């Protein structure tokens, strides 16, 4: 297990939207910080209380593969496959929390900087590695996004195995949610239903979301990214979030950098977040400034009182990187020549509205 260290980006006395005084996540260095992999980092709590961060295993694997000469897309997909396969991670792949009818529906996208190609799948059922299916859409078709039944049939035609993705643990959480949902629950709510809180005491509203985004740059400066998720817990069947939408949950431009997102997908889609972040970097912003600018656009949509958490992650071609979120408390995983660690994301607001 890689050693975890922390760096803190918490800003002194900040209770409102920060303006220009954010410090850069990484001071520009003369020699590029490559290879580098970063990822979102969800805390996963095992039934016995053990806690780990999902993203750190992905970045460590992606880094190791790039050090051995791997293509950056192969590296990030290998990294997130560990997380998709993990039954204890209730936000991604096998073991993910299901939709309101108890079915796990997965979304994923991939983008390869050197070729500018991309692929995605949405509302994919029964296949635990949607990121690998997204890559096949990119490699084997002239299309970019396959959904639902068509995506499933496409995956099966390439030999993917159909399996039930609902683990007993996720099913228990869903049953509890269903038992306790009330007429006052609605799809717009941004607070954790009481049902979920009692189902899994360690869960908070942020855990209704959960995704892994992993971005990488090789020693030669080639970029790639992947985003994979089971989407919002208890979503309406057929609901598709930002993760499989190129430009929202993921965007890569080999001349500039790469960006991805986790959190409330609908809010991200409204600002086409990942593309916005990459375009910000193209215009000269650091990864951190680029992420904060995109987050401010979301905050503005809510008149300064956003309802949900949204996270952005970004790297540029030199291996500068950042993670930033609307609300305090988010983290992200990094692996570079200094090792693997979890860092605190920068943020705009201390806490969600009560
Ligand atoms: N962004 C994902 C979605 O909206 C969820 C998440 O990141 O947790 O589907």
Question: Has residue 354 been placed in a domain?
Answer: no
Question: Has residue 60 been placed in a domain?
Answer: yes
The H or E element spanning position 66 is helix 54-67
Nearest atom of ligand 1 to the alpha carbon of 265? 4
Question: Has residue 235 been placed in a domain?
Answer: yes
Q: How far apart are CA 253 and CA 224, in angstroms?
A: 8
Question: Has residue 27 been placed in a domain?
Answer: no
Asked whether the predicted pLDDT for residue 354 surpasses 90, the reply is no
| CA of 301 relative to ligand 1 center, distance in Å | 18
Q: Are 108 and 133 in contact (CB under 8 A)?
A: yes
Domain that holds residue 279: 37-348
Mean per-residue pLDDT over the chain, rounded: 86
Question: Has residue 337 been placed in a domain?
Answer: yes
- Match 């970097």 to its residue by tokens: 281
Q: Are 291 and 346 in contact (CB under 8 A)?
A: yes
pLDDT-derived band at 24 (thresholds 50, 70, 90) equals very low
| CA of 232 relative to ligand 1 center, distance in Å | 5
Ligand 1 neighbours by CB, cut-off 6 Å: 209-211, 229, 231-232, 241-243, 262-265
Q: How far apart are CA 277 and CA 259, in angstroms?
A: 6
Q: What is the pLDDT of residues 279-322, one digit of tens each?
A: 999 999 999 999 999 999 999 999 999 988 999 999 999 999 99
| Mutational pocket test of ligand 1: of 42, 55, 204, 209, the residue with most ligand atoms within 8 Å of the beta carbon | 209
Return the CATH number at 219.
Answer: 3.60.20.30
With H, G, I as helix, E, B as strand and everything else as coil, classify residue 102.
Answer: coil
Nearest atom of ligand 1 to the alpha carbon of 240? 9
With H, G, I as helix, E, B as strand and everything else as coil, classify residue 335.
Answer: strand
Question: Nearest Cα to 210, choosing from 67, 338, 349, 42?
Answer: 42
| CA of 263 relative to ligand 1 center, distance in Å | 5
Q: Is 26 left (phi over 0), alpha (psi -120 to 50) or beta?
A: beta
Catalytic residue (one of 59, 211, 229, 262): 211
Q: Interhelix angle for 273-282 vs 287-301, to 10°?
A: 140
| CA of 32 relative to ligand 1 center, distance in Å | 31
| CA of 28 relative to ligand 1 center, distance in Å | 31
C-alpha distances in angstroms, 270 versus 210, 293, 294, 307, 316?
19, 14, 10, 14, 23
Nearest atom of ligand 1 to the alpha carbon of 311? 7
Question: Has residue 21 been placed in a domain?
Answer: no
Q: Are 272 and 247 in contact (CB under 8 A)?
A: yes
Q: Mark whether 211 is an active-site residue.
A: yes
Q: What is the pLDDT of residues 311-352, one digit of tens each?
A: 999 999 999 999 999 999 999 999 999 999 999 999 999 976
The H or E element spanning position 332 is strand 331-336
Per-position DSSP letters for 226-280, written without gaps between them: EEEE--STTPPTT---STTSBTTTEEEETTTEEEEEEE-HHHHHTTTHHHHHHHH
Q: What is the pLDDT of residues 182-226, one digit of tens each?
A: 665 555 544 444 444 444 444 444 456 668 999 999 999 999 999
Nearest atom of ligand 1 to the alpha carbon of 262? 7
| CA of 264 relative to ligand 1 center, distance in Å | 5
| Mutational pocket test of ligand 1: of 131, 248, 265, the residue with most ligand atoms within 8 Å of the beta carbon | 265
Domain count, the chain: 1
Nearest atom of ligand 1 to the alpha carbon of 209? 8
| Mutational pocket test of ligand 1: of 39, 104, 204, 231, the residue with most ligand atoms within 8 Å of the beta carbon | 231
| Mutational pocket test of ligand 1: of 104, 105, 241, the residue with most ligand atoms within 8 Å of the beta carbon | 241
Question: Has residue 104 been placed in a domain?
Answer: yes
Asked whether the predicted pLDDT for residue 105 surpasses 90, the reply is yes
Asked whether the predicted pLDDT for residue 137 surpasses 80, the reply is yes
Question: Has residue 2 been placed in a domain?
Answer: no
| CA of 243 relative to ligand 1 center, distance in Å | 6
pLDDT at 3: 39
pLDDT at 343: 98
């Amino acid at each position: 297990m890689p050693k975890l260290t922390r760096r803190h980006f918490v800003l002194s006395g900040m209770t409102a939207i920060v303006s220009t005084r954010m410090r850069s996540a990484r001071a520009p260095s003369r020699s590029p910080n490559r290879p580098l992999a970063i990822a979102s980092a969800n805390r996963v709590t095992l039934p016995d209380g053990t806690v780990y961060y999902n993203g750190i295993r992905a970045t460590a694997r992606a880094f190791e593969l790039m050090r051995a000469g791997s293509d950056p897309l192969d590296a990030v997909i290998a990294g997130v496959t560990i997380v998709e396969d993990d039954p204890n991670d209730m936000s991604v792949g096998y073991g993910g929390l299901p939709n309101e009818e108890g079915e796990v529906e997965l979304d994923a996208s991939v983008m390869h900087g050197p070729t500018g190609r991309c692929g995605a799948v949405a509302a994919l059922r029964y296949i635990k590695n949607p990121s690998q299916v997204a890559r096949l859409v990119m490699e084997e078709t002239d299309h970019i996004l396959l959904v639902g039944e068509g995506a499933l049939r496409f995956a099966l035609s390439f030999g993917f195995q159909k399996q039930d993705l609902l683990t007993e643990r996720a099913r228990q959480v869903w049953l509890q949610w269903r038992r306790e949902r009330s007429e006052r629950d609605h799809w717009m709510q941004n607070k954790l239903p009481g049902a979920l809180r009692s189902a899994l005491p360690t869960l908070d509203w942020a855990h209704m979301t959960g995704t892994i985004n992993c971005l990488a740059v090789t020693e030669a400066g080639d970029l790639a990214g992947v985003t994979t998720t089971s989407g919002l817990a208890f979503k309406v069947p057929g609901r598709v979030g930002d993760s499989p939408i190129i430009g929202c949950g993921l965007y890569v431009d080999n001349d500039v950098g790469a960006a991805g997102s986790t959190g409330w997908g609908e809010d991200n889609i409204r600002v086409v977040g990942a593309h916005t972040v990459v375009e910000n970097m193209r215009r000269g912003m650091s990864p951190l400034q680029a992420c904060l600018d995109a987050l401010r656009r979301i905050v503005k949509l809510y008149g300064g009182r956003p309802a949900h958490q949204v996270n952005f992650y970004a790297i540029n071609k030199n291996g500068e990187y950042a993670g930033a979120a609307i609300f305090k408390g988010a983290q992200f995983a990094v692996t570079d020549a200094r090792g693997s660690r979890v860092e605190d994301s920068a943020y705009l607001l201390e806490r969600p509205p009560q």
